[in-house]
Amino acid sequence: MTAQNNRRLPALICPDCHSALIKMENQALVCESCLFKYHFENGIAQLIGSKSSINFSELEVQDSVSDLYENVRYTVDTSNRYHQDSLEDIISFAQPNGDVLEIGCGNGVFLKTLSSRKNVSTLSAVDLSNEMLKHTESRMLSVDSPIPWQIVRGDGERLPFEEASFDCIFARGLLHHLPEPKKGAKEIARDSPTLHSLMALRVGFPGKCTTLEYLRLRRRLMGDFTTMQLLGLGLIQTLPLLI
Ligand SMILES: C[S@@+](CC[C@H](N)C(=O)[O-])C[C@H]1O[C@@H](n2cnc3c(N)ncnc32)[C@H](O)[C@@H]1O
Ligand SMILES: [Zn+2]
């Protein structure tokens, strides 16, 4: 775990059995119940248990594109402005407050944007890719945020947090990366009964997802979810307008 001022941050738990984690002398964490050991890599807790089924080719892709995102995508001014506008749209739609979690935080651009919002009390973030998290960490360290934050390596489908830990959850651009988006969405929603907003889509322009993204999501999700279930999960409110 990389954390700043962890007094009020939601507690980390074993993603396998949801029991408390105990700090060991050698900087590892051990589950008090199943005794699974979680180590740290470059200061970041690796909270992926034995029950996660990792899609290694997806992980390899994300690891390999992280530097490209950082050194190419986010160095182009127009691209940055477009991206930042999208983030502001999401924030004004979701009105994040309290304890906020971002699942699949990538290289932390959204997390940094959230870190200056006055209604946000704490920020937690998970991603599968250590290469992405490396950028998230340095991005968060580069801002002097008054908001306590923590980042961990974790699986969105098996979150290392107690139920009802968060007031608002973002999973921007995540679902279509999961091996089973429907199952993933359900897991995320189940882990978070107080889910305020699960932003599954990248927002192309204010309040709407782009047609391509919508169609992709519809193809992968709509066979299994009705419109009401999607709304129940807190997915973007404009979906009914597009269906
Ligand atoms: C398209 S990127 C989106 C990054 C960021 N949310 C954004 O909007 O720019 C998808 C991210 O999801 C992460 N990811 C993929 N599968 C995941 C999983 N099972 N659990 C957590 N993160 C995952 C990837 O490593 C990657 O950083
Ligand atoms: Zn355990």
| pLDDT beyond 70 at 50 | yes
Residue 135 included in any domain: yes
DSSP string for 70-106 = HHTGGG-HHHHHHHHHHHHHHHHHH---EEEEEES-T
Supply the residue whose CA is at minimum distance from atom 14 of ligand 1.
104
- The neighbour count for residue 205, using CB atoms within 10 Å, is 11
Pairing of strands 208-209, 203-205: antiparallel
Residue 213 included in any domain: no
Nearest-atom number in ligand 1 for the CA of 178 is 16
- Which residues have C-beta atoms less than 6 Å from ligand 1? 58, 62, 103-106, 109-110, 126-129, 132, 155-157, 172-174, 177-178
Question: Which residue out of 60, 103, 174, 236 has the highest number of ligand 1 atoms within 8 Å of its CB and is therefore the one to mutate?
Answer: 174
The Cα angle at residue 32 between residues 29 and 34, in degrees rounded to 5: 100
Residue 206 included in any domain: no
Supply the CATH number for residue 98's domain: 3.40.50.150
Maximum pairwise Cα distance, the chain: 55
pLDDT at position 54, please?
A: 85
Residue 11 included in any domain: no
Domain that holds residue 183: 56-195
Distance between Cα 151 and ligand 2 center (Å): 20
Residue 202 included in any domain: no
How many domains are contained in the chain? Answer: 1
- In tens, the pLDDT along 9-20 reads 999 999 999 999
| pLDDT beyond 90 at 207 | no
Residue 217 included in any domain: no
Residue 225 included in any domain: no
- In tens, the pLDDT along 88-127 reads 877 776 678 888 888 899 999 999 999 999 889 999 999 9
Pairing of strands 37-38, 29-31: antiparallel
User: d(Cα 51, Cα 28) in Å, to the nearest integer?
Assistant: 19
CA of 132: how far to CAs of 41, 50, 190, 224, in Å? 13, 22, 26, 31
Q: What is the pTM of this model?
A: 0.81
| Averaged pLDDT, 80-94 | 77
| Averaged pLDDT, 141-162 | 92
Residue 37 included in any domain: no
| pLDDT beyond 50 at 187 | yes
